[in-house]
Structure 1
């Protein structure tokens, strides 16, 4: 499996680019999975559902299966968050895994940057960031792409990974 990241500071457009890249790569015939890191508490389950009731009762893992999807919810209950490597090992094989977040990990990444967010670029101090996708012109020692030019960004990632 090939792995490529989309990183950047909050509110710079990471999720939008991820969404467009998934659509672009799947349209090209690739199988794609995503892995997103969240710094805040998040819950995909809703109070009142049977699966939520199982978790609240103390289940370590709840698997919710239907004809359309399977969701596996694992409660850490004070245990350390699994590493990126551990999470990737749990995923089914696909052509490409796109990772949102995990900016300090060593996999190759593209940084998303919006001028209006007024955040500093990560790229100048991080060699794992191979390119930047931005809504403004930037002078860098690596490629800078128009944030909205999804096909060109996908071409760059595909070339980097030999897809």
Structure 2
């Protein structure tokens, strides 16, 4: 299992890029999972459904299962947010885990940068950025790919993705 991140400011197109990369990897025969960091309160459950009622009643974890999928919801109940390394330990074995967000962590990341977003580049201040997917010319020694060049970005991701066991065992993911 290997891991790499897509990092960038909100509005840079990380999710759009990821939804184009996943089918590319799947067509190449890779099994891909994702971890998405949210900066706000979110819910994957439907208010009023039994599982929602279980959580609202105080359950720490609620697992919902059917013949097609299962989901585990864990309420932190004022506990600190787990580090990325803890989430990686929970993942089922696949070929590649792509992390969207967690931009302050030190796992290898491809920066997603869109000029129209008007935000500064992250790579000058983040040594964990190993490449850049962008729609503009940038003066850097890092590998660059155009945001629309999915094969080139996929190649960059596979080249720089790190083995999960090394990252989980290291101190690199403690932010």
Superposition TM-score tier, normalisation by shorter sequence: over 0.9
The normalised TM-score by structure 1 is 0.96
Pair 1:89-2:86 in alignment: no
Cα distance between partner residues in 2 of 1:42 and 1:62:
16
For the 8 Å contact 2:33–2:98, the answer to whether it is kept is: yes
Cα distance between partner residues in 2 of 1:126 and 1:101:
14
For the 8 Å contact 1:124–1:140, the answer to whether it is kept is: no
Tell me the SS of whatever aligns to 2:16. helix
Cα distance between partner residues in 1 of 2:97 and 2:161:
11
For the 8 Å contact 2:113–2:121, the answer to whether it is kept is: yes
Cα distance between partner residues in 2 of 1:62 and 1:160:
36
User: Cα–Cα, structure 1 residues 47 and 125, in superposed 2: closer, same or farther, change >3 Å?
Assistant: same
- How do 1:36-47 and structure 2 match up within 5 A? 36-47=36-47
Moved over 2 A (4+): 159-163
Give the equivalent residue in structure 1 for 2:105: 105
- How do 1:43-58 and structure 2 match up within 5 A? 43-58=43-58
Deviates more, 1:134-143 or 1:105-114: 134-143
Structure 1 spans left out of the alignment, 5+ residues: none
Give the equivalent residue in structure 1 for 2:170: none
Aligned residues: 163
Cα distance between partner residues in 2 of 1:86 and 1:159:
24
